[in-house]
Structure 1
Amino acid sequence: MDAEERVTGLMGRAMAQDAELPLLVEHAVFETPDILVLDLVAASGADLPAWDPGAHIDLVLASGLVRQYSLCGDPADRGRYRVAVQREAAGRGGSIEIHNLAMQGSSVATRGPRNHFALVEAPCYLFVAGGIGVTPMLPMIRAAERGGRPWRLVYGGRSRATMGFLSDIGGRRGGETDLLPQDECGLPDLHALLSGLDDQTLVYGCGPGAMLTALEAAAASLGLSERLHIERFAAPEITPHHDMDRPFEVELRLSGLVLQVPADRSLGSVLQDADIPVTFSCQEGYCGSCECLVIEGTPDHRDTILNESEKAEGRIMMVCVGRAHSPRLVLEL
């Protein structure tokens, strides 16, 4: 998807994506002791909004928390969304709330789907997954199979007992799977893995931040960065400091407001204080829920979603962490 298509798609889908859709938990099954798989359906039995591999939905929890989970079912099945929630004891509480409350027959509000990790058409694919990062790879593998395109999955985890969807992966055709439990195999040699690629293979990576940082470094050293697509479930572990931030002004074209963003405050926090209807979840620039159109001005992008071309285009920004290079921004808010 190029920048123009992304902007057009954002304009057309924004209202639908931000609207909450109540769904019922049709099934709730533990894939592993810490991974709960939910099948969500409309109470009326109606078809759900279409999605493509790489998409995620927001779960709007009773506590007010909003969390994103990759759709890991089959896009051809319009009757249900399937997500997998890994319990994170040291997390911010969302996964624990879902594990405690999202039982069969319960209801949950959703938003989306959105897709910042779309599968680009290519002759062949290398999928690199760590832990729960395997979830967006499952529909991608199905799509590759249906298109007759070769694929390889390299899937690591702490141990086999913690690695979900092994039976699903084992039944796939048209590709190969390398299972690399860390307690048996250690950490994968990502540089060696990428060194053997032909010039037609695209690489998709999803998993822990340290794994993705290493994957990015390996791709950069081999000149493969443009062929690498990654999705993060958390902000990068090393976040650059910005001691020279300057204040700027933001005009909200739809709201008719002009707000001042001080040097020591984020644009996201200023928008929240002004009660501007923007969906914020991660507030660290990796989930995409606060994606916004830029009408005028030059954004200072600090997210991990947009690629270099999209950042240079300057027509979209993530307002939770983004700032401005220009003295003034005009946003479609």
Structure 2
Amino acid sequence: MHSNPDPIPEIELDLLLAAKREAAEGVVVLTLRRPAGAPLPAWEPGAHLDLLLRPDLVRQYSLCGDPADRTELQVAVLREADGRGGSAYVHDELPVGATVRVRGPRNHFALLPASRYLFIAGGIGITPLVPMIAAAEEAGADWRLVYGGRSRASMAFRSELRDRYGERVSIHPQDETGLLDLPALLAEPDPERLVYCCGPEPLLAAVEANCGHWPSGALRVERFAPKTFDEPARRESFEVELAQSGRTLEVPPGSSILQVVEEAGIPVLSSCQEGTCGTCETAVLSGVPEHRDSLLTEEEQAANDTMMICVSRSCSARLVLDL
């Protein structure tokens, strides 16, 4: 889940799509390099990259290569039949040799130090876990991966992981073994173990439910799609004071803070517009935000010192933001 924003500076670069290979049924891995071969920005397991495919098409993909290799960045992209066009563009229209503008890296799913880890992946959710597993192995930690997918053919990196790590990787194609047995897997809380999970929302919700009796903070998840929320707590307008800009703006019920700030001509970095990527994270100086993102942990939300202004709103009549 979310940790403090990565200290590695975020940059924007034009990279060369050096290779594009099929990693599984419906999954391609893109290898991106600098045209002149200069070193790429550093990143850590759990980081993701924005691909600016077109001005109206920005998508986030987890980095799945080797953080020690500064010559290339790799992301895996699942073709989503019901997606919004990003994956279809990558699969069908983006040729090897093309220039791809990228922004990042950004990390809201950092691998925290632990003596033991349980990694749970569902489908394309394996991508951020691949470099995490390598880091856990290098650190000498005790770890295990439980990897579920629709079928063996659809599960990217399945063979590589089994070949490299053997029995610590357990593969569970749903058409052969059914759904993961999460109640058994998570029955015994382990205060020394961190659980990292990434995949579709039903898997994440089930893992969260089965980790309810684990120590607070033991579970870390990353969502590719936003959680669903009830109606906002505050249905009327609220004010947002922008400390840096010296402006006070009114946010009506039908608009987001991000929309209102941008309409006022104040530039803010944003990307997903749905509270999953963390690009628009903003410091809260005063007031009580209503968190409607899918990134911050319960503890981080309770601190009320930062918020995602693309989706989150206000419980108080006024918020003061560091903008």
Q: TM-score, normalised by structure 1?
A: 0.91
Q: Report the Cα distance in structure 2 between the residues aligned to 1:161 and 1:183, rounded to whole angstroms.
A: 11
Aligned counterpart, 2:92: 100
- The letter of the residue matching 1:161 is A
Which deviates the most, 223-232 or 252-261? 252-261
Given the alignment of the two structures, is residue 110 of structure 1 paired with residue 109 of structure 2, yes or no?
no
The equivalent of 1:189 in structure 2 is 181
Classify the secondary structure of the residue corresponding to 1:260. Answer: strand
CA deviation profile, 1:5-61 (whole Å, cap 9, x unmatched):
x2xx57x66xx42x4211111111111231110111111211111111100011111
Match of 1:269 among 242, 253, 259: 259
Q: Counterparts of 1:247-258 in structure 2 under 5 Å?
A: 247-258=237-248
Deviation string, structure 1 residues 75-119 (Cα, Å, up to 9, x no partner): 111111100011112111111111123221111111111111000
> Which residue pairs with 1:48 in the alignment?
40
Counterparts of 2:214 and 2:190 in 1: how far apart (Å)?
A: 13
As a proportion of its length, which structure holds more helix? 1
Matched residue SS, 1:272: helix
1:124 corresponds to which of 116, 127, 149: 116
Mark the CA change 1:275 to 1:36 in structure 2 (over 3 Å): closer, same or farther.
farther
2:306 maps to amino acid: I
Q: Per-residue deviation at 1:224?
A: 4.0
* Structure 1 stretch displaced more, 153-162 or 171-180: 171-180
Percent of matched pairs sharing the same residue: 51
The equivalent of 2:145 in structure 1 is 153
Checking the alignment, whether the CA contact within 8 Å between 2:288 and 2:316 is kept in structure 1 is: yes
- Which residue of structure 1 lines up, in the alignment, with residue 60 of structure 2? 68
Taking the TM superposition and a 5 Å limit, the aligned residue runs for 1:1-333 are: 6=4, 16-17=9-10, 19-173=11-165, 176-220=168-212, 222-236=213-227, 238-242=228-232, 244-333=234-323
Instruction: Give 1:268 deviation, angstroms.
Output: 2.4
**RMSD, aligned CA:** 2.0
Q: What are the Cα deviations for residues 141-167 of structure 1, in whole angstroms up to 9, with x where unaligned?
A: 000110111111000000001111112
Q: How far apart in 1 are the matches of 2:305 and 2:259?
A: 21
TM-score, normalised via structure 2 length: 0.94
Q: Report the CA distance between 1:272 and its aligned residue.
A: 3.3
Contact 2:2 2:296 in 1 (8 A): no
Partner Cα distance (1:2, 1:272) in 2:
25
User: 1 CA distance for matches of 2:220 and 2:266?
Assistant: 32
> How far 1:252 moved relative to its partner?
2.2
Specify whether residues 2 and 241 from structure 1 end up closer, same or farther in structure 2 by C-alpha distance, changes over 3 A only.
closer
Unaligned 5+ runs, structure 2: none
Aligned residue for 2:270, secondary structure, equals: coil
Q: How many residues align?
A: 323
- Counterpart residue type for residue 127 of structure 1: F
1:59-83 CA distance string (max 9 Å, x none): 1112421111000001111111100
For residues 308 and 234 of structure 2, the distance between their equivalents in structure 1, rounded to whole angstroms, comes to 20
Superposed displacement of residue 282, structure 1: 2.4
Q: CA deviation at 1:201?
A: 1.1
Deviations 1:148-194 (A, max 9, x none): 11111000000001111112211333870111100001011212101
8 Å contact from structure 1 (residues 156, 179) kept in 2: yes
Runs of 5+ in structure 1 lacking a partner?
none
Letter in 1 for 2:193: T
